[in-house]
Amino acid sequence: MSHAAPIQRKIIHIDMDAFYASVEQRDFPELRGKPLVVGGSPEGRGGVVATASYEARKFGIHSAMPSKTAQRLCPEVIFVHPRFDVYKAVSRSLHEIFHRYTDIIEPLSLDEAYLDVTEDKLGIGYAMDIAREIKKAVREELNLTASAGVSISKFVAKIASDLDKPDGLTFIGPSRIEAFMEGLAVEKFHGVGKVTAARMKAMGIYKGADLKTYQEADLVRLFGKVGRFYYNIVRGIDNRPVTPYRETKSVSVEDTYQEDLTTKEAMLEEFLLLTAKLQARLKRNGLKGRTLTLKFKFHDFTIITRSRSVDGFIEDEPMIQMLTRQILDKTDLTEKKVRLLGIGVSNFNMPNADEDRENGAGGPIQLKLF
């Protein structure tokens, strides 16, 4: 008895180009062609960059960078406050365009989404043609540009969308995927951060081809559960479906440090930098939660989390900072070397309950990144 071959999916990853900054330059002609940062301010305590225009990126400015650093790199950079209501309205228009072609849409943020166009509504047939039409509609109707990646899996489509920014369109077909992954630098693998990339390079793993020489069991032993993902993805195996709806359980940000943090003062300083970015993500997604969680990963890769819930909602940056100080004061970090910090808000709809939690190695909090 013969079995039909599985349907090969047609996946498009759409990523708007410098979204917030591009909307500001679209709406205010005097900002066009100038180095622009949305979010943060070099005044007072400052903040962090939410989005930088391509003109600003030429100076090395990027998202999550402290505003004071951005100004130091480019003294003439222009800072503007984010207009999240406008960005949300543009995002709704963007999704109206998507829905002309498919209803299987997985949003990752206001400006980024996966589309499964295997059965496209207009019967166009070719995913590249659909991507071209979407890009054209975005340009003509929204006066913005988007980059698109097209492939048979989410992982490869996402990488493809990054290859020719801005206004790019890249197709990586089934016959090219393994060779493409073999030639990809490890730091380009989504999910491989700076510290993991440095660790891989110290082991002689510079590209996918180097990663491919390791057995699955070895990668799991070296990197934990994510090692199984590395083993599969370097072989082009990614069967995750495009999921039209995902309930947001938490919103968080985290950072890994080149040098371990050993004092609470240093940790608090880093948490305050992360707070601004967390608040921006909450605001742009219209979310208010009741529980704040701090995450600590130590030098030996063990992880603990500490949480605090409040009556009402965690609504603003000062409140996040206050709770962060309270949690940090109560956390025993004696003789601990911290290599990663994370901060997140959850419990958006559930009843309030005060809590303190601790997870050992292998049990990190579920963090949803946008």
Instruction: Compute the distance between CA of residue 202 and CA of residue 170 in angstroms, rounded to an integer.
Output: 31
For residue 29 the two structure tokens come to 């002609």
Q: In the sheet where 112-116 sits, what is the strand order? A: 105-109, 112-116, 11-16, 146-151, 169-171
SS3 at position 291 = strand
Neighbours of 279 (CB within 10 A): 22
Residues 6+ apart with CB under 8 A from 201: 186
> What's 170's DSSP letter?
E
Amino acid at 367: L
Task: Identify the burial level of 237 via C-beta atoms within 10 angstroms of its C-beta, where 0-12 means exposed, 13-18 middle and 19 or more buried.
Answer: middle
Q: Which residue has the tokens 């829905």?
A: 99
For residue 135 the two structure tokens come to 């890009």
Neighbours of 297 (CB within 10 A): 21
Residues 6+ apart with CB under 8 A from 313: 288, 289, 290
Instruction: Compute the distance between CA of residue 130 and CA of residue 142 in angstroms, rounded to an integer.
Output: 17
Amino acid at 89: A
Q: Catalytic annotation on 112?
A: yes
DSSP, residue by residue, 38-52: ES--SSTT--B-SEE
Backbone angles phi, psi at 58, to 5 degrees: -65, -20
Per DSSP (E only), the strands in 104-151 are 105-109, 112-116, 146-151
Among the listed residues 24, 55, 112, 254, the single catalytic one is 112
Task: Identify the burial level of 49 via C-beta atoms within 10 angstroms of its C-beta, where 0-12 means exposed, 13-18 middle and 19 or more buried.
Answer: buried
User: Is 40 in contact with 47 (CB distance < 8 Å)?
Assistant: yes
Q: Which residues are catalytic?
A: 112
